[in-house]
Structure 1
Amino acid sequence: MNNWISALAHLQASGESCVLVTIIEELGSTPRNAGSKMVISADRSFDTIGGGHLEYKAMQIARDMLARGQQNTHLERFSLGASLGQCCGGVTVLLFEPMGQVQAHIAVFGAGHVGRALVPLLASLPCRVRWIDSREQEFPQQIPEGVRKIVSEEPVDEIADLPAGSYCIVMTHNHALDLALTAALLTRNDFTYFGLIGSRTKRVKFEHRLRERGFDTAQLQRMRCPMGLTEVKGKLPVEIAISIAAEIIATYNASFGQHAARAEPIAKLLPASRRSHAI
């Protein structure tokens, strides 16, 4: 796959971040062509902007952008002389465009009514979603692109495979399972966001049981329950789903690029939730 257009389409379809590099200006007696492009991912490169040390430097810059999660475009001006190990003079200007940056890795536990309304919303965002339930019949026939359906008899076991900094949403059909998932997530404690569907009464009950298991106040404060922005009103599944998706967007816009350990607690990023999701 040498053509940059095909490579870009393939990487975006697979959810892999990359940087599109374009020569936008070429001054001097260099052999490169303005408009030449290449695509650079974390471990591969496609097409060429002419090879040589300039291309090597471009790959270094692009991969540094990917490692830092940079989302903004970037211009870089190169003097083609001693700094690039070339004998000819001239100036080349490169445009670096991050493509397909994933804002959040999201795990949704539960394929009930709210889950079925929420997951398509999340799939339309720059996110990658794992949708987990033990009941295969609850999933729709068509799973949105960018969503991985996981049918597991033991949903709690899936927590070990989540990337650090994940966004975790628990909304299963079973309170005992919700509690087990909550305990496992709080034990791991490296998520960026954890939302539990339910009312304030459910939160009080869960906090009591979790304290009996040894969880402290700081850990319990990381649990968002009730979840969802209070500004988005309504009790229909789609209305609840929109409020949760809005909270996810608010969180990743506030904390993207930060390690979970340094990210602000969700309670500081968002207003206190008064929404009650009876479940």
Structure 2
Amino acid sequence: MSLDREALGRAAARGPFLRVLVAETQGSTPREAGAAMLVGADWAEGTIGGGALEFEAMARAREILARGGPGRLERIALGPARGQCCGGAVTLAYEALAAETVAGLAPGIWARPVAGASAGEMPLGVRRALARVRDRGEAPALLIEGWLLEAVAAPARALWIWGAGHVGRALVSVLAPLPGLAISWADSGAERFPETIPAGVTPLIAANPADLVPLAPRAADHLVLTYSHALDLELCHRLLGHGFGSLGLIGSATKWARFRARLAGLGHDSAQISRIACPIGDPTLGKHPQAIAVGVASALIRGMSAGARPRQKKDRAG
């Protein structure tokens, strides 16, 4: 699990906040090590598992914020006394992250002492863990001798969703909370979007949304699912000429056969046309918008995980 710089940047823009990280787990716990939430004086986002554990952690984080004190490590035993059915334990790290710290994060492994740990020479265990990352691509433990080691994600993956209808809305609701995505959401009018758009999603409006294609990065991923087959076809045509990382089109086998013929007639060769995935999602899950969204999200997560497997080339301590 990588640290999400975009989410941290948005949090820093709102003012002082604490990041609460599940640094270690033992036994049965609500969330895995690496799960985190961000807590401000009057807001919070993310989750470390809900229930009494999360409620207490939010209260503790706000106490630390109010006194302007350093962060801390806290080991918490779970069980009936806290209304938790889990019987394990978690170690939580509370960190106050300044805006300049967030802005200076670079892809790689970010190693730093938790408040209260020695900020002097890096412990031998930490140095060995970083060497294993460099030499073998081995993911380090999050917490080693009072130091936190986390992977800082590469810049967000650009995802363009074309269409704000039922399927577009379902996709955004499922995909927006995922780290590592920068979502652009395009349609022909403001009235086609919901009143509330999730953080990290950029709405784009044009009378002819296909005119927005030149704004997309050439390596962006695209999902085409507008209200119009004619617009879907024009988007596919323009994106084939523009370039893309991946392109998914909603539709049936009949629609795709018709599109293949029309795109060929517009001058695109079969190899390029075959890069378009149609239908999108997992057909075995059904055609409900939310089912389509779950299938698409699953494919994206698998693709992002596969792309994160190459060994880290740069490590840094900060």
- Aligned-pair CA distance for 1:115: 0.6
TM superposition outliers: structure 1 runs of 4+ over 6 Å: 1-4, 15-18
Counterpart in 2 of 1:239? 291
Closer, same or farther in 2 for the Cα pair 1:97/1:250, shift >3 Å?
closer
Secondary structure at the counterpart of residue 108 of structure 1: strand
Counterpart in 1 of 2:268? 215
Structure 1 residue 194 corresponds to structure 2 residue 194: no
Counterpart in 2 of 1:113? 166
Residue 103 of structure 1 contacts residue 256 of structure 1 at CA under 8 Å; is this kept in 2?
Answer: no
Mapping 1:1-279, distance limit 5 Å: 5-7=96-98, 11=102, 20-23=110-113, 35=117, 72-73=139-140, 96-99=149-152, 101=154, 104-126=157-179, 127-191=181-245, 193-232=246-285, 234-256=286-308
- Aligned-pair CA distance for 1:167: 1.3
Counterpart in 2 of 1:41? none
Counterpart Cα distance in 1 of 2:187 and 2:247: 17
Residue 111 of structure 1 contacts residue 138 of structure 1 at CA under 8 Å; is this kept in 2?
Answer: yes
Counterpart in 1 of 2:24? none
Counterpart Cα distance in 2 of 1:253 and 1:125: 12
Residue 11 of structure 1 contacts residue 18 of structure 1 at CA under 8 Å; is this kept in 2?
Answer: no
Closer, same or farther in 2 for the Cα pair 1:101/1:204, shift >3 Å?
same
Residue 114 of structure 1 contacts residue 237 of structure 1 at CA under 8 Å; is this kept in 2?
Answer: yes
Q: Which has the higher contact order (CA 8 A, sep 6+)?
A: 2
- Aligned-pair CA distance for 1:230: 3.1
Closer, same or farther in 2 for the Cα pair 1:16/1:199, shift >3 Å?
farther
Counterpart Cα distance in 2 of 1:154 and 1:71: 48
- Aligned-pair CA distance for 1:35: 3.4
Counterpart Cα distance in 1 of 2:207 and 2:169: 19
Closer, same or farther in 2 for the Cα pair 1:135/1:18, shift >3 Å?
farther
Residue 73 of structure 1 contacts residue 95 of structure 1 at CA under 8 Å; is this kept in 2?
Answer: no
Closer, same or farther in 2 for the Cα pair 1:189/1:246, shift >3 Å?
same
Q: Which amino acid aligns with 2:183?
A: V
TM-score under structure 1 length normalisation: 0.61
Counterpart Cα distance in 2 of 1:152 and 1:225: 25
Counterpart Cα distance in 2 of 1:187 and 1:71: 40
Moved more, 157-166 or 216-225: 157-166
Secondary structure at the counterpart of residue 165 of structure 1: coil
Counterpart Cα distance in 2 of 1:257 and 1:189: 25
Secondary structure at the counterpart of residue 35 of structure 1: coil
Counterpart Cα distance in 1 of 2:222 and 2:150: 30
Deviations for 1:202-237, whole angstroms, at most 9, x for unmatched residues? Answer: 1111111111111111101110011112342x2222
- Aligned-pair CA distance for 1:96: 4.2
**How many residues matched?**
205
Counterpart Cα distance in 2 of 1:158 and 1:195: 17
Structure 1 gap ranges (5+): 25-32, 37-48, 55-61, 76-91, 259-279
